[in-house]
Amino acid sequence: MHEQMDALRALALKHASPDWLTAYPRLAIHVGEICTGPLQGMYEPMVCFVLQGTKRVTVGDISLEYGCETYLMATVDVPATGQIIRASPEKPYISIAMRLDPATIAALLLDADLVPGDANGRGFAVNAINDDLLDPVHRLLRLLDTPADARVMAPMIEREIIFRLLQGPQGAMLRQIARSD
């Protein structure tokens, strides 16, 4: 996994921009070279894979820290405070965020014959990245090198990532998105 993480970090740094945007509309890359103070904002349904560094997010009275080889999944719009707590110019905070599309999730639930989840739980959680999830994330990021391929392949790989998330520890939480659409 470490070699793949090194390759992912290199790709993320190559495609990072100051506005975090990429050629694929639901994918953003964030690179931060310094620790930050608490920054308030609205977290939308998304999954954020941390490749390096550590971030703390606080929602209400719950704080979660997530760092290298983990991901944060948010399945509801929620006001939150985020803070990069481990980063430096030599080892910046690097993350890849993919916005979760309710229509894509609902279609995948139909295709996989899964039922939408119950709307209980807090709507955000941190989990470890495994190889089954890391592989399609790596392939999605590599597509940024080939925009012509990305138009066709990126939606399929996005579905694969969502499918892997549905099979993971927060699959029921992710299925809530289909119920809210």
Per-residue pLDDT of the chain (181 residues; tens, 9 = 90+): 688 899 999 999 999 988 888 888 899 999 999 999 999 999 999 999 999 999 999 999 999 999 998 999 999 999 999 999 999 999 999 999 999 999 999 999 888 877 665 555 678 899 999 999 999 999 999 999 998 998 899 999 999 999 999 988 888 888 888 765 4
Q: What was the pLDDT predicted at 181? A: 47
Q: What was the pLDDT predicted at 79? A: 94
Q: Whole-prediction pTM value?
A: 0.90
Q: What was the pLDDT predicted at 47? A: 97
Q: What backbone torsions phi and psi does residue 3 show, to the nearest 5 degrees?
A: -65, -40
CATH number at residue 161: 2.60.120.280
Q: What was the pLDDT predicted at 180? A: 57
Q: Which residues contact 60 (CB under 8 A, 6 or more apart)?
A: none
Pairing of strands 39-43, 46-52: unpaired
**What's the total number of domains in the chain?**
1
Residue 10's domain spans which residues? Answer: 2-180
**CA gap 180, 78 in Å, rounded:** 14
Task: Identify the sign of the CA torsion 40, 141, 143, 101.
Answer: negative
